Structure 1
């Protein structure tokens, strides 16, 4: 939250190798500030998990393993935020809920550095970061049925029709998130683009593994989502914020 989600998967079949699928993230090459450089150098060992790579730079190797109990030194509920941006939402959440573990997934290195810097200032110890392609994190890195909640706040809307295929939330995303979530786990989403919100709702309403976790047309604003300058900017532009939440049905 605070920057557009940079990871996406296409509508290609689930068995298409990730490196052959279209991704939407554009890795920013801008220079990090001195503070961000120091945070990366000094805090990566504390917060950043080691992600073995496949072929692509942000890929996840098929043999990669992330064991939450080892990473956090305990067994606790796990919340994953996809496209964590500069970490405003997840640092706030981790700080306020020390009983829960959090994983931020992002490809924007400066955003990850800022997240580590703020987490360190807040004394947060229940947060880890993954610099990787989010669909591959869900499919390969996370153990099956290990996640209590997945957050996707303000993903890149790719609002031009010819770019819609780059959106994260589409049919091929469902088996990835369904596999990572435990039975009864929740996906929380928010966007300031109504057309994308309608697509999100259509996709999840059509998913056999999910049911609505809200009544009416849209979910209430998730009170765990901290209000950021990015969200205020969307509201100033006249774009309504739409929240959605879906619950993972029990496996059969």
Structure 2
């Protein structure tokens, strides 16, 4: 995940901007400074990786009329993997570089994280002898809106949500990403037989995830009701996960299949 930086007002907090969001979001809008190297990389390469989506009421919103055509974006028809909250790009870049038969879409709201992901992708592409990592694209957007209207129904092969903000204080639980509404949106975009993979280091959040996922009639626990999944090999260990282990928090992996 990107490091905390001073928050900046989003349209949801500014009546002088386009309008108001009607629902809480699972993130606090931040605007961090890019290093000089990141600025150069962003200027040169964000046009290749970043999908320019039309906005609605906020800088991280998506116009509900916009529908992503993945085949046009990637220039081919291939299974699509989407990572929500891709952070610094550890997992998605490793997956895209080692799995060229599938296309990968990283969803992140923080520009420093996106810039770091682009830098990782450039190094991975160069190692493969490519001008860029061709099966990876990024989008800067609120995940809930992306799942509700931007991605076509049944268009996603796998959906990843690794270490979403736990919002551990009870008064902030309304901001959590993984809710019953999220379960329904995930089921909407997954193809039949597609997989939703989740991971968290907060035991109480894992219990909530299990509760809301197994209450959704379109999703089935891949390992049996109420059971955790083995650690997903495609989830690259990160500094964030190591900090969780150091703090004594166990990581829970979950996997659900679209019926």
TM-score by length of 1: 0.90
Aligned-partner Cα distance in 2 for 1:210–1:147: 14
Show the counterpart of 2:168. 159
Q: 1 CA distance for matches of 2:102 and 2:76? A: 10
Unpaired stretches in structure 2, ≥5 consecutive residues = 5-18, 126-132
Whether 1:86 aligns to 2:88 is yes
Q: What corresponds to 1:229 in structure 2?
A: 239
1:201 maps to 210
2:155 alignment partner, one of 146, 151, 157: 146
C-alpha distance 25-79 of structure 1, shift in aligned 2 (>3 A): same
Distance in 2 (alpha carbons) for counterparts of 1:35 and 1:64: 33
Distance apart, 1:144 and its partner CA = 1.2
Deviation at residue 56 of structure 1 after TM alignment? 1.3
Residue 178 of structure 1: how far off its partner (Å): 1.1
1:36 maps to 38
* Structure 1 residues 19 and 102, CA gap change in structure 2 (3 angstroms): same
RCO (CA 8 Å, sep 6+): is it higher in 1 or 2?
A: 1
RMSD of aligned residue pairs (Cα, Å): 1.6
Q: Could you tell me which runs of 5 or more consecutive residues in structure 1 were left unpaired when the two chains were aligned.
A: 5-16
Match 2:179 to one of 166, 170, 185: 170
Counterpart mapping for 1:1-252 below 5 A: 19-123=21-125, 124-215=133-224, 217-249=227-259
Which SS does the other structure have where 2:21 is aligned? Answer: helix
How far residue 2 of structure 1 moved from its aligned partner, in angstroms, is 7.0
TM-score (normalised: structure 2): 0.88
Task: Report deviation, 1:18.
Answer: 8.7
Which region of structure 1 is more displaced relative to structure 2, 18-27 or 118-127?
A: 18-27
Aligned partners of 2:199, 2:148: CA distance in 1, in Å? 22
1:63 CA drift (Å): 1.5
